[in-house]
Amino acid sequence: MDEEMIEEDFTRLESVFVRHRNALWVRASFTGLFTDYYIHLMEQKIRHNPELDLMLKEHLVMLSLYLTTRPWAETTGWTVNLRAPRVNLFAAGGCTQESIIGRLFTEDVREPDRNYFYSQTTTPNGKAPRVSSMEMPTRNPLEWFEEFYHQSEQRLGRAFHMGDDDYAIVVAQPDCDLDWLAALDVEAVKNMERDEETKLLEVRRVRFHCGCNLLKIMPLLSSWHDRLDDLFGELEVINVQCPRCAAVYAVSREMVVEFQRKNQGS
């Protein structure tokens, strides 16, 4: 596969500095990522209602754009627990891995008294994950980003749907023109290069990709090693779902026994 074909598999995220306003503008068209997302849903025979489908896609978008403002090595997961309808939205990704993944949880979801947003960020330096949580009064993923950015980064951040599959964020840097940033609308962002002095800083890329497989799924069953009858009942094969992307894997009793035997011998 040549480099051009490889590049087409990814969504390109452009990080642009807005001079004299001291703001960072990150923009991308997510058509490719959405296409891979829908291929995944089709392969797994998953169908979401339109409201939740859009909510999850924009959750993935906002995390992708946010990651582009952060150091390369960070890996971040966002979970939003909504009260009505009772659903969890999960997204996780990292720029080093150049991937983002997400799913909905609609079954066996604890009903909270309010909507909550949870974030966990890890780095490869061995430090404990950075964890935060906050109440989210809104059901709009773009507003989730703005509220999270304000609380987590303690700076103003704005999020915009630019039409079709195009999205952008504009976030404050030191000495930002905050009045200008607060007054931005979609039209102003569309005309940013015309009206402002801008400089492309870097390009990152992501794709909708989990990377799960049976070898990664099998350890999820380790706690059942002495309760296989409880796990399988009278069945010889059960379906195990990836917690990150909802992909389903058929697992037999023999497979679990063999995995345990190899694991114990290692």
Domain match, 167 and 220 both: no
Q: Are residues 220 and 118 in the same domain?
A: no
Are 48 and 130 found together in one domain?
Answer: yes
| pTM exceeding 0.85 | yes
Q: Which of 162, 192, 208 is the last residue of a domain?
A: 208
Task: Provide DSSP, the chain.
Answer: --HHHHHHTSEEEEEEEETTTTEEEEEEE-HHHHHHHHHHHHHTT----HHHHHHHHHHHHHHHHHHHTS-TT-EEEEEEEETTTTEEEEEEEETTTTEEEEEEE-SS----SS-EEEEEEE-TTSPPPEEEEEE-----HHHHHHHHHHHHTSS-EEEEEEETTEEEEEEE-TT--HHHHHH--HHHHHTHHHHS-EEEEEEEEEEE-----HHHHGGGGGGGTT-HHHHHTT-SEEEEE-TTT--EEEEEHHHHHHHHHHHHH-
With beta carbons less than 8 A apart as the criterion, state whether 19 and 198 touch.
Answer: yes
Using alpha carbons, select from 174, 149, 154, 164 the residue that is nearest to residue 69. Answer: 149
Residue type, 202: E
Examine the pLDDT at 264 and tell me if it is beyond 80. no
> Does residue 180 sit in the same domain as residue 196?
yes
Pair 199, 219 in one domain: no
For residues 110-121, average pLDDT: 90
For residues 64 and 129, membership in a common domain is answered with: yes
pLDDT value at residue 6: 64
Q: Is residue 145's pLDDT more than 60?
A: yes
The verdict on 28 and 121 lying in the same domain is yes
Q: In what order do the strands lie in the sheet with 157-163?
A: 130-135, 116-122, 75-82, 87-94, 99-105, 198-208, 11-18, 23-29, 166-172, 157-163
Beta bridge pairs of residue 203? 14
Q: Are residues 30 and 155 in the same domain?
A: yes
CATH code for position 244: 3.90.1280
Amino acid at position 186, single letter: V
Give pLDDT tens digits for 184-236: 999 999 999 999 999 999 999 999 999 999 989 888 887 787 888 888 988 88
Please report the pLDDT score of residue 9 as a whole number. 82
Cα torsion 210, 139, 187, 67 to 10°: value is: -30
The pLDDT assigned to 4 comes to 45
φ and ψ at 235, to 5 degrees?
-85, 150
Verify that 93 and 179 share a domain, yes or no. Answer: yes
The reported pLDDT for the residue numbered 2 is 39
What is the structure's pLDDT at 1? 35
By the 10 Å C-beta count (0-12 exposed, 13-18 middle, 19+ buried), 188 is classed as middle
Q: What is the pLDDT of residue 46?
A: 96
Q: What does residue 149 show for φ and ψ, rounded to 5 degrees?
A: -65, -40
Instruction: Give the model's pLDDT for residue 265.
Output: 55
Examine the fold and report which residue of 177, 208, 239 is the final residue of a domain before the chain moves on. Answer: 208
Q: Are residues 35 and 157 in the same domain?
A: yes
CATH number at residue 44: 3.55.30.10
* Residue at a domain's end among 161, 184, 208: 208
Higher per-residue pLDDT: 85 or 123: 123
- More confident position, 25 or 264: 25
What is the band of 178 on the pLDDT scale with cuts at 50, 70, 90? very high
> Which distant-in-sequence residues (6+ apart) come within 8 Å of 41 by Cβ?
47, 48
User: Between residues 263 and 57, which one has the greater pLDDT?
Assistant: 57
**Between 110 and 14, the higher pLDDT residue:** 14
Give the number of domains in the chain.
2
In a shared domain, residues 126 and 202: yes
User: In terms of domains, do 256 and 145 share one?
Assistant: no
What would the mean pLDDT of 154-174 be, rounded to a whole number? 97
Domain containing 32 equals 3-208
